[in-house]
Amino acid sequence: MDFVSIIERKKRGEELSADEIRAFAAGAADGSVKDYQLSALLMAIRLNGMTDRETRDLTLAMAASGDMLRPEVGGVPVDKHSTGGVGDTTTLILAPLVAACGGKVLKMSGRGLGHTGGTIDKMESIPGMRTTMPEEEFVRAVREIGCCVVGQSAQLAPADKRLYALRDVTATVDSVPLIASSILSKKFASGAGAIVLDVKTGSGALMPTEEDSIALASAMVRIGALSGRKITAVISGMEEPLGSHVGNALEVKEAIDVLSGRCDDRLPLTRVSVYLASHMLVLSGVAPGLKQAREMLWARLHDGSGLKKLREMIARQGGDPRVCDDTSLLGTAPVKLEVLCPEDGFLAATDCTRLGYAAQRLGAGRASKEDVLDLRVGFVMHRRIGDRCRRGENVCTVHASDEKSAARAAGEILSALTFSAAPCPPSRLIWDVVDENGVRKPGEDELG
């Protein structure tokens, strides 16, 4: 097939055929199409968009460009995907909770890059933890214990891997069809039968506005329907870190604290984790409705079953399960520095992206894929938006490898915080829910 003619047609805004889209994905996967040609088509798609049918065909073609898992796990394999955020440790809470309720969580996660953290990096702060395993062993673990979280296989959607790298250097990242097909192709290839999408919105999100977040969520829900997959998308807030802990070992510690019952049930991280998990239980058929799902999840959280399941998952993946009883085994940074509030008032806003980059420069994240992380470093926020703060009070504790990096991070964190003399409301947790019936606002009792 003449690839130049495909570029030409999309340049004119025409709809590509399924065969043309398959040629696009195949050429990306096997290297037969040059980078400059792929880049040209990516830009044409960015400028002229794609129909839902085109986006579905691209999603399926990229999924089929490598291994396609068809896991038999004794139930509907369910997955959750987040578009990325700061202090977002929901996977390590909801995966064991859903498994403790009888769900089957088949999760392939990624590493962090830029200001967002990666679940696989967090898990590697657990001594001995394996984040890669053969596909048969991965599926068997899900079948037997209910959950397993590993890194994405190199054989999974190779077309997307190449196109993703090109999008990053050709200013085509912010294309809804390309984002949607990239996310869903990996989920389809991993064998997920039901998917809950956590689409972040706010200052620390890929999609900073509610309108853009709904557009992306709606596109993915429609592609799921056209592809025969059950998908629900939740629009959740990223105006500030979701959890109070930011950094790899620190976030694992907070997840363990939540599952151990050491945290208030009103903690935003806990509430959002349970909310996402409730949709996972409904989509996979374990619970008949959200109310019943929430009751099951809170019960498993309070009776310790969720922590027990996390301990089983860690042991199954070669990690030291004793971290569930002694989080000091995760390691601690040698330097701690308090960030003091400069004035009396209320925390009115945070620049969440700047906070994420402060953690990255401490060594908790990557500027490039080759960077080596310090899994111990990060920071713990002691105040959230809407909280009263007094001058000289500790609002954040930095965990660093040395005093110089600690001082730099403290300055960066303080510059990302805005204080107000007047009271202000807390940030919103759940903004919208998008499913096959459209967009709706969640009910007042849904986060209960």
Which residues are marked as active site? 81, 160, 167, 182, 186
- Tokens coding 381: 């926020």
Closest CA to 84 of 183, 194, 152: 183
- Tokens coding 219: 């596109």
Q: How many CB atoms lie within 10 A of CB 24?
A: 28
Residue 428 burial (10 A CB sphere; 0-12, 13-18, 19+): middle
Handedness of CA 53, 57, 58, 59 (dihedral sign): positive
Coil, strand or helix: which one is 448?
coil
Interatomic CA distance for residues 69 and 25, integer angstroms: 19
Q: State the angle between helix axes of 290-302 and 305-316 in degrees (0 to 180), rounded to the nearest 10.
A: 80
AA identity, residue 2:
D
Our separate counts of H helices and E strands in the chain read 16, 14
Q: State the angle between helix axes of 248-259 and 90-100 in degrees (0 to 180), rounded to the nearest 10.
A: 30
Q: State the angle between helix axes of 158-169 and 176-189 in degrees (0 to 180), rounded to the nearest 10.
A: 150
Interatomic CA distance for residues 125 and 107, integer angstroms: 18
Strand partners, 198: 82, 234
Interatomic CA distance for residues 321 and 313, integer angstroms: 8
Encode 191-217 in three state secondary structure: CCCEEEEEEEECCCCCECCHHHHHHHH
Closest CA to 272 of 87, 77, 124, 75: 87
- Tokens coding 341: 């509030």
Interatomic CA distance for residues 204 and 116, integer angstroms: 8
Interatomic CA distance for residues 274 and 296, integer angstroms: 10
Coil, strand or helix: which one is 75?
coil
**Torsion region of 128: left, alpha or beta (phi above 0 gives left; psi -120 to 50 gives alpha):** left
Buried b (16+ CB within 10 A) or exposed e, 355-389: bbbbbbebbbbbeeeeeebbbbbbbbbbbbbeeeb
